[in-house]
Amino acid sequence: MKTIDLKATWIIKAPRNSIYNIVSDFENMPKNFPSVAHSMKIVSKDGNNLVIDAKAKSFGIPPIPVTMKTTLVPGKGYISNNTNPKFKTTGHEELLMEDTENGTRINYSYEYDLSKANIILRIIAKPLFGWFSMWYWERVFINKIKIILGCN
């Protein structure tokens, strides 16, 4: 398996701009989302384009270095191309929001490219990154947004 495409959609009963203020505040991700972000530092910024040095956390493993080349989509979310040199993986991530009559719909997608990763990671990636990732993401990211906004 050389690529894995993850997609999920959630609705949060809160204004889109309130959610955007949280999900676009990368330097506070470790405080707001300690289960997924160990550290994040914006190393360059050009308008809505950011380069972020991050240490990501997932599934209880030690922090993983990730370089994020992120474009903010004001009021709607972000699009990011991420590189993990440790595991030789890249990813294209999109978190984009839209208004609904029930609140805000969050459309999330992440496409992992494992073509340069070692064979063992490619073998275990589907079960590790498959449905479990989105189940985990909902609990440690989406539900945390609801808690921060007081709308759980």
What does the pLDDT read at residue 147? 95
Q: What is the pLDDT of residue 109?
A: 94
Q: For 64-82, what is each residue's pLDDT tens digit?
A: 899 999 999 999 999 999 9
Token code pair at residue 63: 């922090």
Closest listed residue to residue 151, CA positions, set 4, 10, 12, 35: 12
Q: What is the pLDDT of residue 86?
A: 79
Q: What is the mean pLDDT of residues 1-20?
A: 90
**Which has more pLDDT, 60 or 140?**
140
CATH of the domain at 87: 3.30.530.20
3 state SS of 14 = coil
Residue 152 has pLDDT above 70, yes or no: no
CA gap 43, 87 in Å, rounded: 22
Is residue 16 over pLDDT 90? yes
Mean pLDDT of the chain, nearest integer: 88
Query: How many Cα atoms occupy the beta-carbon half-sphere of 59 within 13 Å?
Result: 10
In the sheet that holds 49-56, the strands lie side by side as: 3-12, 103-113, 89-100, 77-84, 64-73, 49-56, 37-46
Could you give the number of structural domains in the chain? 1
Q: How far is CA 111 from CA 81, 90, 152, in A?
A: 10, 8, 29
Is residue 117 over pLDDT 70?
no
Residue 62, domain extent: 3-149
